[in-house]
């Protein structure tokens, strides 16, 4: 069983979108996949419920109780945790006790970069991160690659204490498929495949962390 936490100190950064699409990928890959929703909004849990009757179903587990890890089935192969909105590093420490990797989405704006710098400094000091027990990767999210602003933001992200392991473009495609309980890995159209390609580096990084 391998557990991945998606978390951020700032709301609206695409945390749930990344968690649900990652869960969809693992399920489509034939893995027994669990999606733990630790966000009080419950968006991930509703997404998994919509998906229940589709191929590549994902089991939803509420992460609002401290004993969520004990309620994951023994045959689960991949667990994706959608962390609480606007989490602080001190709150993150408890969740890190039960995961193997941490993904942190960051938007290419000055406000998000400034907020992330402080948060990531605190994350770097957490015991399991310092000991190398939890791998941490940053995801540049909702990029407009053709703009100077996005390119400048990417250069600034490279100065942060953790590696930028992927770049996801800004597209309404994620919103459309989410309303159906699906992810971009459930489709094979040419347009969707181009967005799937954005995930290649993220998935390779995760596979590498498994050893």
Query: Which structural domains are found in the chain, ordered by start?
Result: 2-206 (3.40.50.300)
Give me the sign of the Cα torsion angle 166, 193, 184, 143. positive
Query: 37: part of which helix (H) or strand (E)?
Result: strand 33-37
Structure confidence by residue, pLDDT tens digits, 130-163 = 999 999 999 999 998 888 888 888 888 988 999 9
Cα distance between residue 85 and residue 148, in whole Å: 29
Q: Which of 192, 155, 170, 153 is nearest to 24 (CA)?
A: 192
Cα distance between residue 191 and residue 197, in whole Å: 10
pLDDT confidence tier of residue 23, bands split at 50, 70 and 90? very high
Cα distance between residue 62 and residue 43, in whole Å: 11
Stated pTM of the model: 0.94
Q: Which one has a higher pLDDT value, 155 or 193?
A: 155
pLDDT confidence tier of residue 190, bands split at 50, 70 and 90? confident
pLDDT of residue 65: 84
pLDDT of residue 36: 97
pLDDT of residue 195: 84
Q: Collapsing DSSP states into helix, strand and coil, what is residue 116?
A: helix
**Mean pLDDT score of the chain:** 91
Structure confidence by residue, pLDDT tens digits, 64-102 = 888 888 899 999 999 999 999 889 888 899 899 989 999
pLDDT confidence tier of residue 10, bands split at 50, 70 and 90? confident
Task: Please say if the pLDDT value at position 111 is more than 90.
Answer: no
Task: Please say if the pLDDT value at position 103 is more than 90.
Answer: yes
- Alpha carbon of residue 133 to chain centroid: 18
Q: Are 93 and 5 in contact (CB under 8 A)?
A: no
Biggest alpha carbon–alpha carbon distance for the chain: 48
Q: Which of 190, 185, 189 is nearest to 200 (CA)?
A: 185
Number of residues that this document lists for the chain: 211
Instruction: Say which residues have a Cβ less than 8 Å from residue 134's Cβ, sequence separation at least 6.
Output: 96, 99, 100, 101, 102, 128
């Amino acid at each position: 069983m391998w557990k991945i936490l998606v978390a951020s100190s700032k709301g609206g950064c695409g945390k749930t979108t990344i968690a649900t699409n990652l869960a969809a990928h693992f399920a489509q890959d034939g893995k027994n996949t669990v999606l733990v929703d630790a966000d009080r909004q419950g968006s991930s849990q509703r997404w998994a419920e919509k998906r229940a009757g589709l191929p590549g179903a994902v089991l939803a587990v509420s992460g609002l109780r401290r004993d969520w890890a004990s309620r994951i089935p023994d045959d689960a192969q991949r667990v994706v945790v959608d962390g609480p909105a606007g989490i602080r590093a001190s709150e993150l420490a408890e969740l890190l006790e039960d995961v193997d990797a941490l993904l942190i989405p960051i938007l290419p704006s000055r406000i998000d970069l400034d907020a992330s710098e402080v948060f990531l400094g605190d994350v770097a000091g957490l015991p399991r991160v310092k000991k190398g027990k939890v791998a941490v990767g940053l995801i540049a999210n909702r990029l407009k690659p053709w703009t100077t602003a996005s390119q400048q933001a990417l250069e600034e992200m490279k100065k942060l204490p953790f590696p930028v392991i992927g770049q996801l473009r800004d597209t309404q495609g994620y919103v459309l498929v989410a309303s159906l309980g699906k992810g971009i890995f459930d489709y094979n159209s040419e347009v969707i495949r181009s967005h799937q390609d954005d995930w290649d580096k993220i998935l390779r990084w995760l596979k590498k962390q498994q050893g």
